[in-house]
Amino acid sequence: MCWEVWFFCFFAYGILIYSIIILNTYILIGVYSVFENIQHMRKHGFTDYSIVASSTVVPDISILAPAYNESATIVENVRSLFSIYYNNLEIIVVNDGSKDDSLQKLIDAYSLVKVPYLVIEKIATEPVRGVYKSTNIAYKKLVVVDKVNGGKADALNVGLNIASKKYVTCIDVDCILEQDALLRMVKPFMSTADKRVIATGGVIRVANSCEVEGGKITKVHVPKNMLARIQTVEYNRAFLLGRMAWSKLNGLLIISGAFGMFDREIALTVGGYDTKTVGEDMELVVRMRLYMEDNKLPYAVRYISDPLCWTEVPSSYRILWRQRDRWTRGTVETLRKHKKMFFNRKYGILGLLSYPYWFFFEFLAPIIEFTGWVFFFVYAMMGMIDWYFFFLLLIFIVCFGYLFSAFSILIETFTFRQYKEKRDIPKLLTAVLLEPFIFHLYIVGAAIRGILRVMLKETAGWGEMTRGGFSKKESRKCV
């Protein structure tokens, strides 16, 4: 037999085996996750958060919100932070050298004055140009920091330096938080007696087409934009059928950068965010975990599955590309930086399960898929493809994907039920059906590009996200 055929067979079956392994793994994680979700809901269904809300002995929290060129929405975003129901709060907005008038808008809206402030530089950062506080007692919680541009990680590090409270919450300034989000996020820190909780992460929900008023989501809608809709399904799948399982195993490698709470002391001890990577949120969590593992301190990273944070997802292909490119670069950079964990028994679950999973199924998957397509075209041109088999296989995989997505929607219906209208489920169905055709291949492409960029050592940048603002139904009055 000629080598081409051998190569082809080896190749085809290799991909088949990989697919089977990955599909089975998804099923396993999915099922485990669902059980965990149900258990979690039962357990936390009756916690009375109102006690914490009005108590004065709650732990202190600092909110860190880095901002760059957010002039259009920054005043409203900060206002929504004020409506968070929590005592003992400090809101730190870091203006990362915006080129527009974000800072001036804040100064005007909140009666800010520049105050002398000694920044204790526990982590080295770009210079701070000034610290501002409000003369209006209603805005006492607010601290605005103006600094030289240095990127999101750098801005967060400035926030870490300045924060004076025990726990820090890092959020994207345009995220909308549920009113009791902080209460729910802080609970694991306080109710785990034998381990130290170092970080908690929340679920990110898609805010596109949702009605937002006064900094709160008033009505949830399935996004009109098809890309956003598909991402809704995707986020749903990832959170409901993935994160919960990892959280229970204490193998959660990633806390979403959009909303996460950290133990400030540990974050500072490990040196804060890494400014050289674009995946700073994931990288910090990994580094904090490694620190605890290295020092043999019992710890946990917890994940709250209630919907707490809403954000706008890319609704155009261009921005989606940039976002996925950046995510992939972040993943690769983090994996590369911490490759000592790979199958390293010293790191327990992290080394034996989490890291290998991320390596094989998050990092390699797009590569293998891409290579698969390349070879497919090559062999197609050589006329060696059994078309019947090929299409059968393709349909099989697509249907599996459908099954998985449909299942996540089912779970969503029975747990959090964010999408309540009659037309919502059919709308999500269209997204599920279209996903493999207009979405999946595109993000595989973006992932490949990201991997290539890291491998070829191009300098990374945070990129510019164009803020579209929220639903047109937004109505607000500035008093």
Partner 1 sequence: MLLLFIIENNLQTELIIFTLLFICTVCAIFFISYFSSLLIQRRENEIQKIRDEKESLLVRLLFEGNSNESNDEILADYDEFRPLEKGNRLGKKKRMLHRQIMVDEMLEMKKNLSGAGVEDLYKLYNKLSLHEYSYQKLTSKKYQLMVMGIRELSEMNFKIYYRSIYRCINHPQEDVRIEAQVAIIRLFGVKGLRFLSIVTYTISEWQQMTLLHLLSHMKKDKPRGFENWFNSKNDSVIIFSLRLAEMYNCFELSDRIRYFLYHPSDALKIQSIFCMRNNYDENTELLLLAYYPIVNKPVKLAMLDVLKSISTGLSIPFLYKQLIDTELEIRFGILRILYRLCEGTEIIDAIENEPEIKDSIILMIDQIKIEEQIYN
Partner 2 sequence: MKILIAEDEPLTLKMLSMKLQKDGYAVIQAEDGRKALEYLETEGCPDMVITDIMMPFFSGLEVVEKIRKDLLSNIPIIVLSAMGQEESVSAAFTLGVNDYITKPFNPNELSLRVKRLIVV
Residues that bind partner 2 (CB under 8 A): 50, 53-54, 56, 82-83, 85, 87, 137-138, 140, 213-214, 216, 477, 479
* C-alpha closest to that of 67 among 92, 89, 93, 91: 93
* C-alpha closest to that of 133 among 99, 105, 91: 91
Query: 4, 7, 9, 438: which one contacts partner 1 (CB under 8 A)?
Result: 9
Tokens found for residue 427 = 């709308």
* C-alpha closest to that of 206 among 182, 177, 237, 229: 229
Distance CA 44, CA 65 (A): 28
Query: 357, 362, 413, 434: which one contacts partner 1 (CB under 8 A)?
Result: 413
Query: 218, 414, 437, 466: which one contacts partner 1 (CB under 8 A)?
Result: 414
Nearest residue (CB) to partner 2, 166 versus 216: 216
- Do residues 79 and 215 lie in contact, with contact meaning Cβ atoms separated by under 8 Å? yes
Length of the chain in residues, anyone? 479
Tokens 């193998």, located at residue: 251
Partner that binds at residue 53, options partner 1, partner 2, none, CB closer than 5 to 8 Å by kind: partner 2
Nearest residue (CB) to partner 2, 85 versus 117: 85
Q: What's the min distance (Å) between Cβ of 358 and partner 2?
A: 40
Q: What's the min distance (Å) between Cβ of 28 and partner 1?
A: 17
Partner that binds at residue 213, options partner 1, partner 2, none, CB closer than 5 to 8 Å by kind: partner 2
Stretch that binds partner 1, among 26-34, 70-78, 149-157, 390-398 (CB under 8 A): 390-398
Distance CA 406, CA 168 (A): 36
Q: What's the min distance (Å) between Cβ of 264 and partner 1?
A: 12
Helices (H), 163-223: 181-191
Partner that binds at residue 135, options partner 2, partner 1, none, CB closer than 5 to 8 Å by kind: partner 1
Please report, as residue ranges, which positions from 117 to 136 form the binding site for partner 1 (by CB under 8 A): 117-118, 120, 133, 135
Please report, as residue ranges, which positions from 22 to 51 form the binding site for partner 1 (by CB under 8 A): 42-43, 45-46, 48, 50-51
Single-letter amino acid, residue 405? S
- Do residues 197 and 302 lie in contact, with contact meaning Cβ atoms separated by under 8 Å? yes
Q: What's the min distance (Å) between Cβ of 134 and partner 2?
A: 12
Q: Is 52 in the site for partner 1 (CB under 8 A)?
A: yes
Mapped onto helix, strand or coil, the DSSP state of residue 369 is helix
Q: Is 375 in the site for partner 1 (CB under 8 A)?
A: no
Stretch that binds partner 1, among 71-79, 284-292, 296-304, 399-407 (CB under 8 A): 399-407
Q: Is 298 in the site for partner 1 (CB under 8 A)?
A: no
Q: How many contiguous H segments (helices) and E segments (strands) does the chain have?
A: 17, 12
Residues facing 211 on adjacent strands: 219
What angle (nearest 5°) sits at the alpha carbon of residue 279, between those of residues 276 and 282? 120
DSSP line for 15-53? HHHHHHHHHHHHHHHHHHHHHHHHHHHHHHTT--HHHHH
Nearest residue (CB) to partner 1, 39 versus 466: 39
Tokens 């910090």, located at residue: 284
Single-letter amino acid, residue 280? E
Q: Is 194 in the site for partner 1 (CB under 8 A)?
A: yes
Query: 99, 296, 345, 422: which one contacts partner 1 (CB under 8 A)?
Result: 422
Identify the H or E element spanning 331: helix 317-337
Tokens 């490119």, located at residue: 325
Q: What's the min distance (Å) between Cβ of 171 and partner 2?
A: 19
Cβ atoms < 10 Å from Cβ of 359:
17
Nearest residue (CB) to partner 1, 55 versus 466: 55
- Count of residues near partner 1 by CB under 8 A: 58
Distance CA 376, CA 370 (A): 10
Query: 224, 346, 420, 473: which one contacts partner 1 (CB under 8 A)?
Result: 420
DSSP line for 142-174? EEEEEE----HHHHHHHHHHH--SSEEEEE-TT
Tokens 């996903």, located at residue: 435
Cβ atoms < 10 Å from Cβ of 339:
11
Q: Is 141 in the site for partner 1 (CB under 8 A)?
A: no
Q: What's the min distance (Å) between Cβ of 111 and partner 2?
A: 12
Tokens found for residue 12 = 């085809």
Mapped onto helix, strand or coil, the DSSP state of residue 303 is strand
Q: Report strand pairing: 142-147 vs 89-96.
A: parallel
Q: What's the min distance (Å) between Cβ of 395 and partner 1?
A: 5
Partner that binds at residue 138, options partner 2, partner 1, none, CB closer than 5 to 8 Å by kind: partner 2
Partner that binds at residue 426, options partner 2, partner 1, none, CB closer than 5 to 8 Å by kind: partner 1
Nearest residue (CB) to partner 1, 311 versus 418: 418
Residue ranges binding partner 1 (CB under 8 A)? 1, 5, 9, 42-43, 45-46, 48, 50-52, 54-59, 115-118, 120, 133, 135, 137, 140, 187, 189-194, 386, 388-389, 392-393, 395-396, 399-400, 402-403, 406-407, 409-410, 413-414, 417, 419-420, 422, 424-426, 429
